[in-house]
Structure 1
Amino acid sequence: MRQALLIIDVQPCFSPPQWLVEGIRSLIGKLPSVATVERHDETRTPFQRQLGWHPAADDESLIAADRIFIKHGYVPSMDTIDYLEGLSLDRVLVCGLQTETCCLAAGFALFDAGFQPTLQTDLTVGSPLDRSGGLGVRLWEHHFKHTLTMSELRSFLPSS
């Protein structure tokens, strides 16, 4: 199965837990990887005006993915989707921050592009409303069906 890992917004300004960073890093080099970094540009996404907060304007990924794409707002950029399409994948594994918002938005973008989005349930963290990510996992299963855990993923990875 041709698959890649899409890492959503694992960056300093969102203070990801160390277990999440380490878990994602353990997959780097085992399959193609792409990371998004959310940056603030009020002219593109009105975070400050509408929500009263915003991500950093100059953050970097904490994960050394094969490719890193900047995004503004919740959804991965079209450049990210185009790059993934160029890899001729069967599915895209999604992990990272904000299971019920940014990860879910990535799932919709991937689904609309014809991919099989698959959530790595034990490599996501939810928003402050539900840090467990449980709400996001339930929404993901409702909309996209496919989820995996690290132990299930290991059966698809080449042994190291």
Structure 2
Amino acid sequence: MRQALLIVDVQPSFSPPAWLLRDISRLLGHMPTVATVECHDEAITPFQMQLGWRPPKQERSLIAADRQFVKHGYRPTDEVLNHLRRLATERVLVCGIQTETCVLAAGFALFDLGLRPTLVTDLTVGSSLDPSGALGIRLWRHHFGHTTTLAELLATRT
């Protein structure tokens, strides 16, 4: 099955755990990889005005993905989505930071394009509201159905 990995907002300002960096990196080189990085531009997404906080203006991915794209809100940009569509994948695996917000927003955007979003449940962490990510995983299963794990992905490579 042709697939790509979308890595959502695994960046220094969100303090990802070391295990997340290590385990996502195990998938590099086995499929096309795309990373998003959340950066602040109040003119595009008014985080400061609406929520009283903002991501940094400049940031980088902590994962050495094939491509990295900056976004200024919860969902991936059209540039990211068009890139994933051009890869002609059968499904897009999704992992990263804030399962119930940015990761879920990526799922909706991918679903709407017919790109079969599939959450890698053990390669995601939630927000401060739900660090385990359990809420986001339940929402993902309810809305999109497709999930997998790192072990399942590694088993299919052999």
Find the counterpart in structure 2 of residue 135 from structure 1. 135
SS in 2 for 1:31: coil
- Could you give the per-residue CA deviations for residues 27-78 of structure 1, whole angstroms, max 9, x where no partner exists? 1111110000010000000101110111011110001100001100000000
Distance 1:155 1:146 in 2: 17
Find the counterpart in structure 1 of residue 40 from structure 2. 40
Find the counterpart in structure 2 of residue 24 from structure 1. 24
Find the counterpart in structure 1 of residue 58 from structure 2. 58
Unaligned runs of 5+ in 1: none
Q: Are positions 1:106 and 2:95 aligned together?
A: no
Find the counterpart in structure 1 of residue 126 from structure 2. 126
**Aligned partner of 1:31: which letter?**
M
**Aligned partner of 1:24: which letter?**
I
Per-residue deviation, 1:156 = 2.9
SS in 2 for 1:152: helix
SS in 1 for 2:123: strand
Identity value in percent: 64
SS in 1 for 2:117: strand
Per-residue deviation, 1:87 = 0.6
Instruction: Tell me which stretches of 4 or more aligned residues in structure 1 moved more than 3 Å.
Output: none
**Aligned partner of 1:42: which letter?**
E
Find the counterpart in structure 2 of residue 87 from structure 1. 87
**Aligned partner of 1:77: which letter?**
T
**Aligned partner of 1:70: which letter?**
V
Per-residue deviation, 1:26 = 1.2
Distance 1:156 1:43 in 2: 44
Normalising by structure 2, report the TM-score. 0.98
Distance 2:82 2:136 in 1: 25
